[in-house]
Structure 1
Amino acid sequence: MAAYKAVKEDHMPVDRAAVTFGVPKQTLRDRVLNKVNLRAKWGKDSLFTLDKEEQLVNHLESLAQVGYVVNRAKVNVLAIELAVKLGRRNSDDKLSNFWYYAFLKRWDHRLKVIKPRALSSTPAAAMTQENIDDYYSDLNAVLEKYNLKSKPHLIYNLDETGIQLRPVITKISTSKIISVTFPNTGTIAIVACVNAAGTALPPYYVFEGKHSETNDNFMNNATAGSAYTMSDSGCVNSEVFMKYLNEHFLKFVQRGSSDNTEPILLIYDGHSSHVSLDVVQWAKEHHLILFVLPPHSPHALQPLDIACFGPFKTAFHRECKLYMEKETLTKGRIITKYKIAELSGKAYLESMTPVTIQEGFRKAGISPFDANMSLLRELIQKKTCNTEISSMTMQKQR
């Protein structure tokens, strides 16, 4: 309140008052202009202080700027993450609708609720021509703003895929039938990242297990530069993603110069683990431009999905087969988690080639930039064409 009084009563400039009293400029300006509901209660029973709640609002606005669609459930997830970080909630707590609507009311001058249009359950049908045009228009604006069209080494695509071992392989010999079984290892996540110049960062593995546990034997004979971590579910969560960015991405990313402030564009999907407040703040500090793909579109707009993951899965299963065939038929082999990095690493090197990666960026229309190269655009055009043909056929039959 001291800063507010200094501005209202002593006529101190907002910027100077914000610096003098150590409060956010925008918050003070909103209070002075009566844009904040001053009757709202921020006391000991409140989830956040006003400053911390504004931090969440700023984060939501940042997500909107990169095309991330935020609904009530995602707002609650992000709020819980912040509350856990501040020690105000446990991770398994849920926020009530009362908090959500009160939060929107307090910040209705900056947050607007828009009723979404119904989306088809079919990914290709869920994306309209208008959505694709908006995506490429935004992408083009970012590429031009940061002068990245001639810098493919600064345009990255990141995604994760899962390796799920096949349960049984049966071999038939002249004397007997032999079944080779895999232990129940679940799905092991691999985070891959490539740039438009054709460079692939080493694979990053996520094994199921306690985060505090480590077992470096998982990396036996792994591809150079490979690394791993553990998560309770074996999936990439916010904590794992931040660890990946800090310890893996930052180590291998190429800026092509000694200037660490040169902007890097990172194109990726909008999974909730990828857009936490910590991630967005980290990206700003490291001059990383986050660009989120539209919903239901990664299969057709993302270079890794278009060109790389298919050949990688094929090569991986071939490596598994070759590994087992090296043993005699009478004994057989078992593939465990300790062989995953070795076998998948060989497949990774084979599939993540410069030619394949560059082809993925080309087909996605990212580099060289060409909005008409979109695979999803082709699918929609084919769908429209087929609809027109069907309509003409029906008219002729009549």
Structure 2
Amino acid sequence: MNAGNEKRKYGQWSEIYIQAAIRVYRGGNIGFNEVCRQYRIPKPTFRRHLKSLNVHANKERKILGRSCTFSEEMETELEQHILKLESIFFGITITEVRKIAFEFAERNGLKHNFNTTNKMAGKKCFYAFMRRHPQISLRQSESTSIARCKDFNRANVDKFFDILEKLVDENALTAPKIFNVDESGFSTVQKRCQKVLAKKGKSQVGVLSSGERGVNTTFVCCTSAAGQYVAPMLIFKRKRMVPGLAEGAPPGCIVQISDTVKPTNEDKVLLILDGHTTHSRNLAAIELARENGIILLQLPGHTTHRLQALDVAIFKPLQVYYDQAVEKWLREHSGQPVTQF
């Protein structure tokens, strides 16, 4: 193998030998070259230690490479700053962290090797920082509206649970009598395609879909705190009802209610739902619920992304399995698109 292609080896010397060699050399009995030969220390390394140019020369452990620009206290401060920004929905990107590191070093008058043209730290510096602080990870962010940020606060959440506790105590409600309802839309075109195996290096991999734009069907789900499910309701985007739409639907779908709980004014149930106008502003629905012993409790505005259990735990995996079923059906029925039927 060509000597020029050999990987350079670092750290072949011992820190103990370094200290012993320095004492011998300063004793004046042996010359510089002989000390390096006897103690097997590279001459440049020994020279740096003699001139006290190596900032780690007096440390007990051997540290290779450039020294870190920031102290441990400074890095901890930077770490807390990053986590604080994320907690208030202002998470920063890799590029922004690198720029902050440059500004931080400049403001504190630290000697650094950062890029002064782009005014940011290097990528190697960033990844080294991430290795030293494993509690920080790179995550895909989700857009959250300003209204949600403002309304999802301790006061609103505490108020909701205070009302919930009061209703449960006043009406002696148990888990089978506390229900949660929500709806979600499902399209004939899958939202997320699964990862598939393809030839290495191929940049674009296609998966069949029923069309560019699909037709949405609304799925209404209702479940109790005890894990009992009411038969779901399917709302199709059509003007006329066709019997074939219900083919293959879950038993009792659309018209049947739960066989376990039959609410009355003497034996009431609690129904938790979001504040959509079709729920909270529909007088006919409110009156119907009152007549049948159903207590309606609305979730605080703009908090369903955290408090709506069906949104958080049910609909996302359901959507994933639905998309998988659509892809499987398209593979098994070549050339046939998915429709509402």
Q: Give the number of the structure with larger relative contact order, counting CA–CA contacts within 8 Å between residues 6 or more apart.
A: 1
**Looking at CA atoms only, which structure, 1 or 2, has the larger radius of gyration?**
2
| TM-score, normalization by structure 1 | 0.43
